[in-house]
Amino acid sequence: MKTKHTLPWEDTPAKSERIVSAITRIASVLRSGAWQFATTEGLNPTQVDILEALRSRRAGVRLSWIAQHLGVTAASASDSITSLTAKGLIEKGRDSEDGRAVALRLTRSGQDLAARISNSVSFAHEAASDLPQSTQDALFESLLVLIGKLQQSDRFPEIRACVTCKHFAVNRHPDSETPHHCMLVDAPLSVSSLRLDCPEHDQAQTTVAVQNWRELEGV
Ligand code: SF4
């Protein structure tokens, strides 16, 4: 009896479905790499995310900022922060912009641990940096545009990216390899040098951010 072969291309999911599937698989591998390391340190996923978010914000941030950045409730962020403070990984100080508010920062131990969490996914950094430069540029731009799409449909938490920053001037230098501009440091920016998480980010008005995303998409 003849074996009936399936025709794989007939069952192939739509490209959009395969894109999401690829991103999901990569995300879960990265997550499990970071969490494996973190669980040996007695941390849960939200605590890991908080340490990573605070790593580049040495001036400190407020609890409400952390909750919004991670897309979790203030109560959940507060529980995790209480635990991280008890472990000596986070300390509370005065907010530099409002002396009555509390700013959360990593302690020296917290900085060391956050650096080691990041190193636990260095295998992925190496894989990405092995890609040809043109592939890295195209991949970064595509992911950025996809994040923009998700943000515009309110399915992605706010990010401190150039595109949503009031200092960002989209297409200030058209027909150039560095078409955009950061007005804060007065420097032209290529697409591949746009930041996803900048400590100097200052939120632009929603209409401006939406227009920036659309220009980046080429709409
Ligand atoms: S301040 Fe930071 S986020 Fe804003 S445009 Fe400049 S580099 Fe980008």
Report CA(172)–ligand 1 centroid distance (Å). 14
Residue 81 lies in a domain: yes
One domain, residues 26 and 71: yes
| Residue 209 belongs to domain spanning | 133-217
Largest CA distance in the chain: 81
Q: What local confidence, expressed as pLDDT, does residue 147 receive?
A: 92
Whether 128 is covered by a domain: the verdict is no
Q: What local confidence, expressed as pLDDT, does residue 58 receive?
A: 82
**144 shares a domain with 95:** no
Give pLDDT, residue 219. Answer: 58
d(CA 60, CA 37): 25
- Give the number of the atom of ligand 1 that is nearest the alpha carbon of residue 185: 6
Mean pLDDT by 10 residues, the chain (219 residues): 66 92 93 83 88 86 87 89 94 80 92 89 93 95 92 80 96 93 96 90 93 86
173 and 212, same structural domain? yes
Q: Residue 162 CA to chain centroid, in angstroms?
A: 12
Give a yes or no: residue 99 inside a domain: yes
In a domain, 8, yes or no: no
From ligand 1's centre to the CA of 189, what distance in Å? 10
How much is the pLDDT for 81? 94
190: alpha, beta or left? (left if phi > 0; alpha if psi -120 to 50): beta
Which of 159, 164, 165 maximizes ligand 1 atoms within 8 Å of its Cβ, making it the mutation to test the pocket?
Answer: 165
